[in-house]
Chains A and B, each alone.
Chain A
């Protein structure tokens, strides 16, 4: 009887493993899919649209949904799926964590990967401890901060953290490694190796974008946090899930009146501790100790491991030795809430480059980004926009957007510029911090007012024609607007007493969309002679440059 029961628990545990692996694989595939929107299978129209819901996992995350609902007072369309997950948690508690969460699956895999540790050490590591309370505090801080207008809780949301980590740490690293291998193969002079590296390139270029930069701006910090979260599993299994995860805290709290309970038979238990060896969440599975409902992720390890059939999941109802409310003190929650309320003004203190209320020149947001205040209320720092950008132009901010703006997207023209015909980043934002933008809005065609993300300024002291009398105007060649925002005029330039007549560049701020192409290509490579700042961005009244800037396309005419 006991034996038969154990076999079926084992079958179910396999079902969980398969679900977990499938979910993690889907998660990675959706991230990879953002790189393959070009190729012979696409034409101009199809390559402009993201064909898969690459942000699906973020959409179903109720914690992200809650942040945005609290910070904006509106329910974002796609995030209603999060409601379904939350409803499921009312019935099944943290089953999402054990079965579906792709970040959970990564933690689980690393925790279980060999070499394993002795049983006694695992039992000690899996004992319920005070650090598990931390996640409830994280949840309280995040939710109250959201009420105060900041989506900063996204920093520790598991789906956001995993998307950001894979996109901005793993992918660049893989690119870097593959790129090195390709160059070595191609430069080897050995025909077979050269052929092999070319084949490798063809096979992987659809998934990995090769010019993607490695760890730029705030990216180093992204990598440190992501890697630390994964490595921590080797000391405390699923440490992030147990101690940090605000989504886990939320689902655990929601599952308080869940329908399943761990039913324990103290008589049958001989105290071998197998359940504790395998418990993934430190949820107290052993008869004699309290089962922590809000911690348990229904991984089924304990019931599958028990040689005596002394524990099983059954319908809740009868009083069992369990603790159903989250194991956290009221005082801690209140302190967390107070911190959440205090943290927003603290984080919004000015920095040197952007004192309070003044835009930072380097805070160039993606096209379609809403005005800064609302942007910070919505952006959960998932990194989707940064990952999908074909030019690798978007990067996680360090302090360009103030302290609060850590890891929000900023455009770094030196690395990549914003292609005016591309609207990919505007299609993948799960929280509408970047609203959808049509191509004609970016180019200002068909009567649409042009979306401008900044303005280019010439540094005439560094510009080759202006300062040195050397022909150049590469910036004019690359300026993609029509008519061009950069025009040239034949001008007499005096250099060392010699007069040269050559074309010098000017920018027309009414035509410039701030894409940064000019800064990107300027041959003055260290500090370009033309640079873009956030001045004049259409999303923000406080950044306006020109009087009557309401219609940036006013006065557009084809120049000659």
Chain B
């Protein structure tokens, strides 16, 4: 040591230093964020969820309006008239039932689907041999309270369904590929099943005038739903295009005729005592809007959906069957 220096040790250090710098440079190159130069993703590839696959539903293109007794009975009669749940749900399949559980309201206020209708459908799916039945919705108010106070949590679990509440980790981005809606977070539990039964309630709505089957599909979305109002008719048609339910069963036992979509007063509701079922969700809306005193002509989204071949905006084109 003392004043002398060791050439070999020096070379070793320089080599090590160079190797280190080289390593860092390589790692940096590999890890560099390419985002800056990457083209903006321009995906418009719709990931349509068609829950009719493998079923022959053409021949049952009709609309059943059931007034056969109380909610549960009327529901069962409506499904029986369509040929029984076995036509829609096969043994071993998984089913998601999507009622409207949007609001912290009790059943009499008719802002959410009647729990008896939901329970009856769950039971029918179980009887048809479904492997599992999930009841879910992305509520507008606090979800725990909506599911509890609507009576749907208790009724659905009692009938044998699993209730799945929305939570941030339960959403995944899907490309809706629509005119107004592109990539949006979707409640995975709502769209990951073999069969999808949409169970809306017929209601008045301040902006879209009527909220029924197609509007009920808002409940599968997460994220910034607050902007959908800016193009509400296109949004509704986009949703109906993205989710193609196996079956739509509309609760019109008690409907909300003003102050929708929340109501809040029994005085806002009218007793109608009907359950409407069809494989054609557009036809269901076209028929049901009359129950809350809204004219079909006032619903642009019916025309938009029909133009995309999603169903019949004129219920005269499907055979109507009334049961009492």
> Which residues of A come within 8 Å of B, CB atoms?
37-44, 47-48, 179, 182-183, 185-187, 197-198, 201, 205, 209-211, 390-391, 419-422, 443, 445, 464, 470-474, 476-484, 488, 503, 521-523, 558, 560
Contacts and interface: CB of A to CB of B under 8 A. Distances in A.
B140 A478 contact: yes
A376 B207 CA distance: 43
B218 to A, nearest CB: 11
Nearest to A186: B169
5 contacts: A38-B148, A422-B104, A480-B262, A484-B206, A560-B258
A521 B153 CA distance: 25
A48 B105 CA distance: 12
A43 B142 CA distance: 15
Given A211-B142, A482-B263, 17 more contacts: A39-B144, A39-B148, A43-B148, A183-B169, A197-B169, A390-B144, A420-B264, A421-B105, A421-B106, A421-B149, A474-B226, A477-B207, A477-B261, A477-B262, A480-B262, A482-B264, A482-B267
A47 B142 contact: no
B169 A185 contact: yes
Contacts of B268: 482
A419 B103 CA distance: 10
B104 A419 contact: yes
B132 interface: no
B148 A471 contact: no
Interface residues of B, number: 44
B112 to A, nearest CB: 11
B159 to A, nearest CB: 11
B68 to A, nearest CB: 26
B227 interface: yes
A185 B170 CA distance: 11
Given A205-B165, A472-B230, A482 B148 contact: no
A391 B258 contact: no
10 A-B pairs with the lowest CB-CB distances in the bound complex, closest first: A482-B264, A38-B144, A186-B169, A482-B265, A523-B226, A38-B148, A182-B169, A40-B157, A44-B149, A44-B106
Contacts of A390: 142, 144-145
B248 to A, nearest CB: 22
B259 A482 contact: yes
Contacts of A560: 258
A38 B230 contact: no
B229 A472 contact: yes
Contacts of A477: 205-207, 229, 261-262
B145 A38 contact: yes
B134 to A, nearest CB: 12
A503 B125 CA distance: 42
Given A182-B169, A560-B258, A44 B206 contact: no
A182 B149 CA distance: 27
Contacts of A479: 262
A43 B167 contact: no
B167 A201 contact: yes
Interface string B103-132: 111110000000000000000000000000
A443 B267 CA distance: 14
A522 B149 contact: no
B168 interface: yes
B154 interface: yes
Given A43-B151, A482-B265, A558-B258, A419 B142 contact: yes
Contacts of B105: 421
Nearest to A210: B167
Nearest to A36: B144
Nearest to B189: A198
Contacts of B267: 482, 558
Contacts of A464: 230
B170 A474 contact: no
A419 B139 CA distance: 14
A41 B231 CA distance: 40
Given A186-B169, A482-B263, A503-B207, A44 B151 contact: yes
A40 B153 contact: yes
B300 to A, nearest CB: 12
Interface string B258-284: 110111110110000000000000000
Interface string B167-185: 1111000000000000000
Nearest to A206: B144
A419 B265 contact: no
B149 A47 contact: yes
B221 interface: no
Contacts of A205: 144, 165, 167
B318 interface: no
Contacts of A197: 169
B150 to A, nearest CB: 8
Contacts of B149: 43-44, 47-48, 421
With a 10 A CB-CB cut-off, give which of A43, A210, A476 has the most chain B CB atoms.
Answer: A43
With a 10 A CB-CB cut-off, give which of B148, B158, B268 has the most chain A CB atoms.
Answer: B148
A205 B259 CA distance: 32
B147 interface: yes
A522 B226 contact: yes
A55 to B, nearest CB: 21
A391 B142 contact: yes
B7 interface: no
Contacts of B158: 40
A391 B104 CA distance: 11
Interface in B193-225: 205-207, 224
A44 B142 contact: no
A346 B235 CA distance: 57
B115 to A, nearest CB: 10
B250 interface: no
A41 B158 CA distance: 10
Contacts of B165: 205
Contacts of B262: 477-480, 482
A187 B232 CA distance: 31
Contact of B206 (A48, A470, A476): A476
Given A471-B230, A488-B206, A419 B259 contact: no
B319 interface: no
Contact of B224 (A41, A198, A482, A523): A523
Nearest to B211: A477
B264 A481 contact: yes
A211 B106 CA distance: 23
A448 to B, nearest CB: 13
Contact of A471 (B142, B147, B150, B232): B232
B7 to A, nearest CB: 51
A471 B169 contact: no
With a 10 A CB-CB cut-off, give which of B103, B207, B267 has the most chain A CB atoms.
Answer: B207
A405 to B, nearest CB: 27
A275 B140 CA distance: 61
B153 A38 contact: yes
A480 B264 contact: yes
B207 A38 contact: no
B141 interface: yes
A338 to B, nearest CB: 48
Interface in B85-111: 103-107
Contact of A484 (B141, B153, B259): B259
A349 B230 CA distance: 46
A210 B106 contact: no
Contact of B264 (A187, A443, A471): A443
B163 interface: yes
A525 to B, nearest CB: 8
Contacts of B104: 419, 421-422
A37 to B, nearest CB: 8
B105 to A, nearest CB: 7
A48 B259 CA distance: 23
B155 to A, nearest CB: 9
Nearest to A517: B141
Contacts of A47: 145, 148-149
A474 B148 contact: no
